[in-house]
Amino acid sequence: MRSSEGTALVALAIVALWVFVGLPILYLPSHEHEGIKPGEWLVGLATVALVLATAALWWATRDLVKGSEAASKRQLRAYVVLNSLPFEINAPNNHLLFVTGRLELQSVGQTPATVTDGFINKRIVPRGSEMPDGYTAESPNPVHVTLGTGSPAQKFGAMSVTREQIIDCVEGRTQIYLFAHVRYYDVYGDTHEIIRALEFVSNIHPEAFERLGNNWAMVRDQPNAFGCWTIPNYGRST
């Protein structure tokens, strides 16, 4: 039972006690000739009890109203999700230069969301190193886009991984991390944020792939050629 419900029950019990016990006693014949009569004591105590009961009911009602408002905001507020798109391959004359990763923002809530700013950071560390800090914005990228309910998703940011960086990653020398941070606010004026950490992965060695005479056009639409894995338990959405 929630505290507001318990408070309301206590208040109702006090009122019931007054109606079914206090009032009958109040009108019993009094044999006191001096001082305050028992009925007068009961009137005073009953008045205090009713004041307390009224206050308790007011607090309980206020808590219930606040709870309803909070539930309504949770149901109607904006929710924005962050998705990673397939990497774009830049390979003029079938020679890979770099791949570019983009993210996508999409509104899945009941009301519009206004995105105010966001950024993507890339961190490259020796393989096996601790997770780097990538949430400090080196070059904040104001987005300022409103995502309405059911509106098309918006591409957000871009981060390139060069040929040399891909080779180092595939050969096991380095790990490449991408960090995304997005802030937006809803129709209630509350600010929310999305924080994600992803690791770049590739199962293609550029030099070996080209040496075999393969064409990069073959893998442009294959999500496993270049991709990002979301790192679990790292980041948050509010």
Q: Is 220 buried (19+), middle (13-18) or exposed (0-12) by CB count in 10 A?
A: middle
Average pLDDT over residues 23-41: 53
Q: Other C-beta atoms within 10 Å of 66: how many?
A: 11
Q: Which of residues 41, 75, 109 is at a domain's end?
A: 75
Question: First and final CA of the chain: distance in angstroms?
Answer: 27
- Which domain does 39 fall in, by range? 3-75
pLDDT of 205 reads: 92
Residues 182 and 101 in one domain: yes
State the CATH number of the domain containing residue 135.
2.60.40
Quote the percentage of the chain above a pLDDT of 70: 69
39: exposed, middle or buried (Cβ count in 10 Å: 0-12, 13-18, 19+): middle
Structure-token pair, residue 27:
């009108």
Q: Which residue has the tokens 């390979």?
A: 91
Among 37-46, 156-165, 227-236, the range of highest mean pLDDT? 156-165
Q: Are residues 63 and 88 in the same domain?
A: no
**Is residue 15 domain-shared with residue 117, that is, in the same domain?**
no
88 and 160: one domain?
A: yes
Domain boundary among 59, 75, 91: 75
- At 138-158, the pLDDT tens digits run 555 556 677 777 777 888 778
* Amino acid code (one letter) for 97: L
**107 and 60, same structural domain?**
no
What's the whole-model pTM score? 0.67
Q: Alpha carbon of 230 to those of 67, 128, 133, 141, 234: distances in Å?
A: 34, 17, 15, 22, 9
- Exposure pattern of 165-180 as b/e (b: 16+ CB <10 Å)? bbbbbbeeebbbbbbb
Rounded Cα distance between 7 and 15, Å, is 13
Same-domain check for residues 51 and 129: no
Residues 179 and 106 in one domain: yes
Helix 3-17 with 38-76: angle, nearest 10 deg: 150
Single residue among 75, 104, 126 that ends a domain in this structure = 75
Q: What is the pLDDT of residue 39?
A: 59
Assess whether pLDDT exceeds 90 at residue 95: yes
Q: Are residues 170 and 110 in the same domain?
A: yes
Q: Do 163 and 177 share a domain, yes or no?
A: yes
Number of independent structural domains in the chain:
2
Judge if 121 and 209 occupy the same domain.
Answer: yes
Q: Are 103 and 195 in a shared domain?
A: yes
Range of weakest confidence among 6-15, 183-192, 208-217 = 6-15
Cβ contacts of 170 within 8 Å, gap of 6 or more: 202, 203, 204, 205
